[in-house]
Amino acid sequence: MIALITIFFPTFLSLIILKKWKNKNYKELIFLYPIYNLFINLLVLICICVHHKGEILSFNENFNILNFNLKYMILAIIFAIIIPILFEYLNKNCQIVIEIKRDKNEKKIK
């Protein structure tokens, strides 16, 4: 039970922050939940693997230990706070433009 709370709670925190800043409706938040959950847990797992130098013997056994859950939860909450801020910053300050041009001399592909 504590493992499920550890995985899914930080995403709720992240979406609460997003709701307060951007006034999104609940349909948009339901759509964003799996995306934010993926990013948060992926970043936490990367940090854990880097910290342990890839030597996690049994993830299932470690995930049932309270000490591991607390560390995972703290790290996930930190990322849950950072990710909406980072996405909002990138949304305001970065723009991606893709242009595809075709030469008039280029032959058509048959």
Q: CA separation (Å) from 25 to 20, 30, 84?
A: 10, 9, 16
The answer to the question of residue 110 being in a domain is no
Question: Is the pLDDT confidence value at 106 over 70?
Answer: no
Average pLDDT over residues 2-23: 82
| Domain extent at residue 44 | 2-93
The answer to the question of residue 37 being in a domain is yes
CB-based contacts of 63, cutoff 8 Å, min separation 6:
3, 6, 69, 72
- The more confident residue out of 70 and 53 is 70
The answer to the question of residue 18 being in a domain is yes
Rounded to 10°, the helix 66-93/2-22 angle is: 20
Query: In the chain, what percentage of residues exceed pLDDT 70?
Result: 84
The answer to the question of residue 105 being in a domain is no
Q: pTM for the full model?
A: 0.70
Q: What are the pLDDT digits (tens) for 41-67? A: 899 888 887 876 656 555 555 566 777
Domain total for the chain? 1
